[in-house]
Amino acid sequence: MSSVMIELDKVTKIYGQGDKRVVALADVSLEIKKGEIFGIIGLSGAGKSTLIRCINKLEEPQSGTIRLAGQEITKLKGKELRAARRKIGMIFQHFNLLSSRTVYRNIAFPLEISGVKPKERDEKVRSLIELVGLSDKINSYPSELSGGQKQRVGIARALANNPEVLLCDEATSALDPDTTKSILRLLQDVNRRFGLTIVLITHQMEVIKEICDTVAVIDDGRIVEQGSVVELFAHPRSAAARRFMKGVLHTEIPSEIQERMVDDDRQDQHGKTVRISFIGGVAGKPIISSVIRKFHVNVNILYANLDFIKNTPFGSIIVEVTGDEANVETALKYLTAQGLKLEVLAGVGPDS
């Protein structure tokens, strides 16, 4: 059939009753494709954990349906439910390791439960330990590990029963930025290696930007926006998405530059200060130099930043374009025609 792995259709989850009633999920519909890394971003209390707990049926929604690999898990019970759950691995913010068990025995645990024979189990545990890069910690206890190492154990344990889906609930939220990156690399690696579908829940846009293909923004129990990550960065539509983006896009203009723009009142020349934002392919093209050549204007770069969403470059530069009025205007039109987003921050000269 289709390549849809997880499908939520109008899922509503309400906790409590009367004046204690909380609508944790309101009419949530999502489609997560097989093999993709799907991010769900939202503030604390937005309903993220509830969503994940509905997917593995730790919570029952009041209405709506959830399908996993075509199977309606909202209807499953007993043996069928256990079999469906085995398709799902999960990792947590606080790792949830067994403190009295070594790395080896933490990873062996789910295999013991599912009755895998000792020899096969031993081979599996050893290959998982190698996969997550913890061969030198095989007999260590959780208390002897760093946060990043603990999460590596968590990932190995989650992969023990060869799941098709990995659910990650704030899996990097307790880690420092460098460790976060290394754990995200590992998740990307297992995604590619095993074609594993990953659902990654977070309140950090950095995490989404780093490895997700698709993203849904959840706000107060509702999905307010969903689509490709690149598309979200290029055209965020919801207020919630814009709020999350602020921290990673560096859209604030540095104060030194703002002062310059105000002070800049040379009357002899026409000039405009513009912010040029770009996403994707144009980053590699010599657009600025061709503008200078084509339109005989001066371009003075005041500020620039470049970043990547997975492998797609995005960023913005603030430039002062000065010269003959008609030339400046044509140059700006040309830049827009190249697919760049232009925003005039200040202008000097006869018409401003």
Ligand X SMILES: Nc1ncnc2c1ncn2[C@@H]1O[C@H](COP(=O)(O)OP(=O)(O)O)[C@@H](O)[C@H]1O
Instruction: Tell me which residues touch ligand X (CB under 6 A).
Output: 15-16, 22, 24, 42, 44-50
Could you give the CA distance from residue 247 to residue 270 in angstroms, rounded to a whole number?
34
Residue number with CB closer to ligand X (42 or 142): 42
Confirm or reject binding of residue 204 to Mg ion (CB under 5 A): no
Q: Is the distance from CB of 10 to CB of 223 less than 8 angstroms? A: no
Could you give the CA distance from residue 220 to residue 236 in angstroms, rounded to a whole number?
18
Binding mask 8-27 for Mg ion (x = CB under 5 A): --------------------
Q: Token match 């001066």: residue?
A: 298
Residue number with CB closer to ligand X (24 or 158): 24
Residue number with CB closer to ligand X (151 or 322): 151
16 binds, among Mg ion, ligand X, none (CB under 5 to 8 A by kind): ligand X
42 binds, among Mg ion, ligand X, none (CB under 5 to 8 A by kind): ligand X
Residue number with CB closer to Mg ion (111 or 171): 171
One DSSP character per residue, 131-154 reads HTT-GGGTT--GGGS-HHHHHHHH
* Shortest separation between residue 238's beta carbon and ligand X, angstroms: 16
Residue number with CB closer to ligand X (45 or 254): 45
- The alpha helices in the chain, defined as continuous H runs, are 48-55, 78-85, 103-113, 118-131, 147-159, 177-194, 205-211, 229-234, 239-249, 255-263, 287-295, 325-337
Residue number with CB closer to ligand X (48 or 157): 48
Binding mask 40-69 for Mg ion (x = CB under 5 A): --------xx--------------------
Sort strands 63-68 and 71-72 into parallel, antiparallel or unpaired.
antiparallel
Q: Which residues contact 160 (CB under 8 A, 6 or more apart)?
A: 89, 107, 108, 109, 110, 111, 124, 125, 128
44 binds, among ligand X, Mg ion, none (CB under 5 to 8 A by kind): ligand X
One DSSP character per residue, 163-216 reads -SEEEEESTTTTS-HHHHHHHHHHHHHHHHHH--EEEEEES-HHHHHHH-SEEE
DSSP 8-state symbol, 19 = G
* Shortest separation between residue 42's beta carbon and ligand X, angstroms: 5
Structure tokens that stand for 68 in this block: 């996993």
Residue number with CB closer to ligand X (51 or 134): 51
Could you give the CA distance from residue 235 to residue 85 in angstroms, rounded to a whole number?
37
87 binds, among Mg ion, ligand X, none (CB under 5 to 8 A by kind): none
* Shortest separation between residue 170's beta carbon and ligand X, angstroms: 8
247 binds, among ligand X, Mg ion, none (CB under 5 to 8 A by kind): none
* Shortest separation between residue 51's beta carbon and ligand X, angstroms: 7
209 binds, among Mg ion, ligand X, none (CB under 5 to 8 A by kind): none
Q: Which residues bind Mg ion (CB under 5 A)?
A: 48-49
